[in-house]
Amino acid sequence: MSELDTFLQAAKSRGASDEFLVNLLKEQGWPQSEVYAALARHYAAATGVAIPAAPSRLESAREAFFHLLAFATLATWIFST
C-alpha cells in the first residue's frame, strides 16, 4: 500500500469527501490521474468488487454503425413505398 493509499484510507475513515481529497492532493502536487486511481483502489477494497472496465471504443463504434444501418434501412423502406 502506497503512502497515498494510506492517507486516503485514513482520511476517508474520518469522513473526508472525495471532492475535498482530490482538491487537497492536487494542490499538494499529486497528479489527478494518480489521485483518482488511488480512490478507485480504495472503493474496490471497501466494496470487495472491482471497478468495471468501460466498454472499448470498438464496441461503441460497432453499435453506432448498426444503429446507422438500421435507420438507413428504415428510411430506404419508407421512401421506396
What is the reported pTM?
A: 0.62
Select from 38, 49, 51, 44 the least CA-distant residue to 7.
38
pLDDT, position 1: 75
pLDDT digits (tens, 9 = 90+) for 27-59: 999 999 999 999 999 999 999 998 888 767 777
pLDDT, position 50: 87
* Stretch (H or E) spanning 76: helix 57-80
Residues 72, 80 contacting (CB under 8 angstroms): no
* Cell reading at 23: 482538491
The full set of domain ranges for the chain reads 3-80
* Cell reading at 25: 492532493
Give the Cα separation of 65 and 67 in Å (integer): 5
C-alpha angle 15-31-49 in degrees, rounded to nearest 5: 55
pLDDT, position 17: 96
